């Protein structure tokens, strides 16, 4: 039984500006291609100037810890609550994606490094939350990654990250001497299980942490180059075209969010196939779009801001992934008890009568306790006083959820 708590929402977009590098300062001084307006607005200072607003705009002084508190911490809470969650780092090569997602992980221990990035911090927090739940003895949780490596603490996760980072193709470029030329997708499945009144509840969530390959000014020529130009033009992002399949998926998702009915080409690349749910479905998704303030990166920065602005319009539909099953006898006993309570409450409000099997599933309440409605064989009740209605509403939730788990 899926308890079907839904969270409809748009992608959350965060812009993060990295500091100018020493090399950039020595060539062009301190002039920049962007101006921070507020913690939600940024202006591209080219011609003509363009102002953009996002959920969060983090300037170069925002620490790894602060960014984690803004973006990572709520994500862990979402996952613990059973929502799939996904975080992408997007941006041109050398703009700070790996710094954001991984940061300084040398040495394998995160706790004391101020520069460790989002992923190690997320797992530190996740395991401390899990530890507390163990401690209270009600729930057991385990985490495993895509390779089915079982991990029991944040340090185990860091070891996996170090191994993954070493596997990543790294090639020096003019922009960034440790530039990564492949996507890094770190997926973690969080499952929890607990018992309540003879019923076993299962909750699970998928957490995707993605450090995309850096986008660069497109240099391809011929048919491929033309196609890429067309895609960039359609997306309105200008010249960043490295993540072609991802961009194509995003174009269609934006159109779908605007009411169009379109096929989304998730299967055109491994990345989009793997992240299908995070991109357009059951997930709460955050993009951290990393930008460089350097004048020499001005066009790429504008392109990333335009990309992020587009992505803001994608809607997801996250659902709590929860099932309840258990001992049928225990559940029947519980239903009997609840029926008795309903009968008792009916007596209190003047309805009277035994509760029949059908009654259990025909209670409905449209939301607010004051507008409580009863459509059973006993006829209609006028609205309950608030206190009783609340009680019945809770009862209703309980009866309805547990009885529907038989189906
Ligand atoms: N917020 C920041 N604060 C301090 N230094 C940063 C920040 N962001 C990036 N840097 C530095 O900038 C350089 C490039 O960053 P990083 O390697 O994370 O870029 P990237 O976007 O992952 O590049 P690529 O796509 O080519 O892999 C690194 O030396 C990194 O330490």
Three-point CA angle 233, 276, 163, nearest 5°: 100
Reported as type and span, the H/E element at residue 387 is helix 386-404
Q: Is the pTM of this model over 0.90?
A: no
Distance, CA of 388 to CA of 49 (rounded, Å) = 59
Q: How far is the CA of 94 from the centre of ligand 1 (A)?
A: 5
- Going by their DSSP bridges, the two strands 184-196 and 199-211 should be labelled as antiparallel
Nearest CA residue ID for atom 12, ligand 1: 96
Q: Report DSSP letters for 145-199, one per residue.
A: ETT--EE-SHHHHHHHHHHHHHHS-EE--SS-TTEE-S-EEEEEEEEEEEEETTE
Q: What is the pLDDT along the chain (407 residues), one digit of tens a residue?
A: 333 455 667 889 999 999 999 999 999 899 999 999 999 999 999 999 999 999 999 999 999 999 999 999 999 888 888 888 999 899 998 999 999 998 987 655 545 578 889 988 998 888 888 777 674 443 333 333 345 566 777 787 787 777 777 766 554 455 555 555 667 777 777 877 777 777 777 788 888 888 887 766 555 445 555 666 666 655 555 555 556 778 788 888 888 888 888 888 888 877 788 788 788 778 889 999 999 999 998 988 998 898 899 888 888 888 888 776 666 666 677 777 788 888 777 777 665 544 443 333 222 222 222 222 222 222 222 222 222 222 322 322 222 222 222 22
Q: How far is the CA of 19 from the centre of ligand 1 (A)?
A: 9
Ligand 1 pocket residues where CB is under 6 Å: 18-19, 60, 91, 93-99, 176, 178-180, 214, 290
Q: How far is the CA of 95 from the centre of ligand 1 (A)?
A: 5
**Mutational pocket test of ligand 1: of 15, 24, 96, the residue with most ligand atoms within 8 Å of the beta carbon:** 96
Q: How far is the CA of 271 from the centre of ligand 1 (A)?
A: 22
Q: How far is the CA of 151 from the centre of ligand 1 (A)?
A: 28
Residue 96 labelled as part of a binding site: yes
Distance, CA of 135 to CA of 103 (rounded, Å) = 31
Distance, CA of 159 to CA of 149 (rounded, Å) = 11
**Mutational pocket test of ligand 1: of 176, 209, 300, the residue with most ligand atoms within 8 Å of the beta carbon:** 176
Query: In 10 A of CB 399, how many CB atoms?
Result: 22
Distance, CA of 206 to CA of 217 (rounded, Å) = 33
Structural domains of the chain, with CATH:
6-322 (3.40.850.10), 328-404 (no CATH)
ipTM summary value: 0.98
């Amino acid at each position: 039984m899926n308890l079907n708590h839904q969270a409809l929402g748009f992608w959350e977009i965060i812009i993060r500006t990295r500091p100018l590098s020493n090399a950039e300062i020595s060539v062009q001084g301190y002039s920049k291609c962007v101006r921070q307006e507020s913690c939600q607005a940024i202006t591209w200072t080219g011609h003509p100037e363009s102002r953009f607003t996002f959920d969060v705009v983090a300037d170069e002084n925002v620490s790894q810890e602060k960014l984690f508190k803004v973006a990572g911490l709520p994500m862990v809470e979402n996952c613990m609550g059973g929502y799939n969650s996904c975080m992408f780092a997007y941006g041109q090569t050398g703009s700070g994606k790996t710094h954001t997602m991984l940061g300084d992980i040398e040495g394998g221990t995160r706790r004391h490094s101020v520069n460790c990035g989002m992923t190690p911090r997320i797992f530190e927090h996740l395991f401390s939350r899990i530890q507390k739940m163990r401690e209270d003895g009600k729930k057991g949780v385990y985490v495993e990654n895509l390779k089915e490596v079982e991990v029991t603490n944040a340090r185990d996760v860091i070891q996996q990250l170090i191994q993954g980072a070493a596997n990543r193709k790294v090639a020096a470029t003019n922009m960034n001497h440790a530039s990564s030329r492949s996507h890094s997708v770190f997926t973690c499945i969080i499952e929890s299980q607990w018992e309540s009144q003879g019923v076993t509840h299962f909750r699970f969530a998928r957490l995707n942490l993605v450090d995309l390959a850096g986008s660069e000014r497109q240099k391809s020529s011929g048919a491929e180059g033309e196609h890429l130009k067309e895609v960039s033009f359609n997306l309105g992002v200008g010249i960043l075209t490295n993540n072609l399949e991802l961009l194509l998926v995003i174009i269609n998702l934006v159109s779908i969010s605007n009411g169009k009915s379109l096929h989304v080409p998730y299967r055109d690349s491994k990345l989009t196939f793997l992240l299908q749910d995070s991109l357009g479905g059951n997930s709460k998704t955050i993009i951290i779009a990393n930008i460089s303030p350097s004048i020499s990166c001005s066009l790429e920065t504008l392109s990333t801001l335009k990309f992020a602005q587009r992505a803001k319009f994608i809607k997801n539909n996250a659902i709590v992934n929860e099932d309840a099953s258990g001992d049928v006898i225990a559940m029947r006993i519980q239903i009997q008890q609840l029926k008795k309570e309903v009968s008792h409450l009916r007596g209190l409000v003047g309805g009277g009568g035994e509760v029949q099997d059908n009654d259990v599933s025909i209670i409905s309440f449209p939301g607010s306790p004051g507008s409580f409605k009863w459509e059973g064989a006993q006829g209609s009740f006028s609205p309950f006083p608030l206190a009783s209605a609340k009680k019945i509403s809770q009862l209703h939730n309980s009866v309805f959820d547990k009885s529907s788990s038989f189906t």
